[in-house]
Amino acid sequence: MTKALILDFGGVISRTLFETHAMTEAALGLPAGTLSWRGPFDPSTDALWRAMQADQIGERDYWLARTQEVGALVGERWTRMEQFVQRARGAEPAAVIRPEAVAAITAAKHAGCPLAILSNELDLFYGADFRTRLPLLEAFDVIVDATHTGILKPDARAYAAVQDALGLAAADCVFVDDQDRNIAGAQRAGWTAVAFDVRDPAGSYRRALRALGLAEPVIEGALA
């Protein structure tokens, strides 16, 4: 049986907001270096990130706080996370998609692997029309988004929803996420889980392809 590749979106398919501070500052007219919080790239700069990793606040709490903070910097009152993301990244979401993600998704698709996204905030972050503006998403057979289900990873029901939609056994599910709590949830569901290191996207996708039984990417050199 061909295994399925199941991906988180933010951080795994798209570059994190931590990686695109310069783009955000330019888009919002902020001086270079205004945004100093670096999350996993430098936890010492980011007390809120450390609190989230310690389960003192949730992921949505973290990003709502950052949304309000950045909105205040431009003199606006932002209360929804999509206000931050859409203003920071503009109308071209493809500009922040990881090339390593495109290569791995293409490799898995060519190998006949079912593809799914399991996200806590896909439409919440990017807006309701986002899927029509990113052709890459057409490659996916299943998208389960807690924006609509209200069931956040690592709740077991989130994983079950994807597995049921794919019609696969747990042993046939390979899941990639950049949050330890979500990796642990997948492991409890019986899935093969690959922890995505946002500091090493190419290496992370290589591990995911190997878990699918694809030792080498179909697109030669794309993950180099």
Residues 50-105 pLDDT 10s:
999 898 998 889 999 999 999 999 999 999 888 998 898 865 778 889 999 999 99
Confidence grade of residue 223 (pLDDT, cut at 50, 70, 90): very low
From the CA atom positions of the chain, what is the Rg in Å? 17
> Looking at residue 110, what is its pLDDT?
94
Residue 224, pLDDT above cutoff 80: no
Q: Where are the beta strands (DSSP E) in the chain?
A: 4-7, 115-119, 142-145, 173-177, 192-195
Kindly report, residue by residue over 37-53, the tens digit of the pLDDT. Answer: 999 999 999 999 999 98
* Whether the predicted model's global pTM rises above the 0.85 cut: yes
Judge: domain 4-15+94-211, CATH 3.40.50.1000. yes
Q: Which segments of the chain does DSSP mark as H helices, in order?
A: 21-28, 47-53, 59-73, 81-89, 99-110, 122-126, 146-149, 156-166, 180-188, 201-211
The answer to whether residue 220 scores a pLDDT higher than 60 is no
Domain positions in the chain are 4-15+94-211, 21-93
